Structure 1
Amino acid sequence: MTIRSVSKGATLIAVLIVFTAFFTGCESGSGFMKGQSTDVGVSLSCKNYRIIEVAAQGESTGFFLFGFIPIMSPSFSEAKIQLYKSVSVPLEGKAIALVNQTEDKSFRYFILFSIPKIILNADIIEYVE
């Protein structure tokens, strides 16, 4: 075993350690159930609605430099647009509502940046009467 082969092995190990350190991260998250804030005056106690889609989902991601300088922030409106796009039937002209809506926020932290994400989940119903 020569000094040159030991040096190459040590260099390779050092490069792998640095590479691993830069691409290792942590993630934190939170979520909550949204309360109904729209006062429609329609009761869901009788069969006056039909379910259009169960567990429709939309998400929006962003990018923060050094974990706190927002380059691109995630957006609730973008996540809601993606949620509506995920529905398999057209929604135009229908009296729809989002029910059982949840919002989840997560952050993936890396050495030089973080990636925040907002995920919206909801069941979509249509009022029939």
Structure 2
Amino acid sequence: MAKVDVKLLNGIALAYAGDSIYEVYVRDHLIFNGLTKPDRLHKSATKFVSAKAQAWLISQMEEASLLTEEEWTYFKRGRNANSKTKAKNADILTYRISTGFEAVMGYLHLTGQTERLDEVVNWCIAKIEEEQAKLLGERN
């Protein structure tokens, strides 16, 4: 396999890897929490991996000062990348922010920062679950 300097990859390539990595973390989390039916898994996963959820997570990360300066650089690389694809269920700004989110995940994964990736993803999962519980409480 050819050696590639990850720090030189464009935002779309980083987001491509990050999208998959984040999805695997979310799927593992859901399965380990007892969800096993494909339709329920898909519906539940969407709450974590949708462009809207990822854009919301970025705003929460900013509020919590979760990301390092270097991670913000990779977020911006992904957000500002010129993508040839269009969002299916999100406006262009939300889609671009979610691409930045995925670029951060891809950067952490491809640079072998497993502990940091675990920390960030687990924070994201907990934040989404906290928000879902809050919304559920408001409905009841």
TM-score calculated relative to the size of structure 1: 0.27
The structure with more radius of gyration: 1
Higher helix share: 2
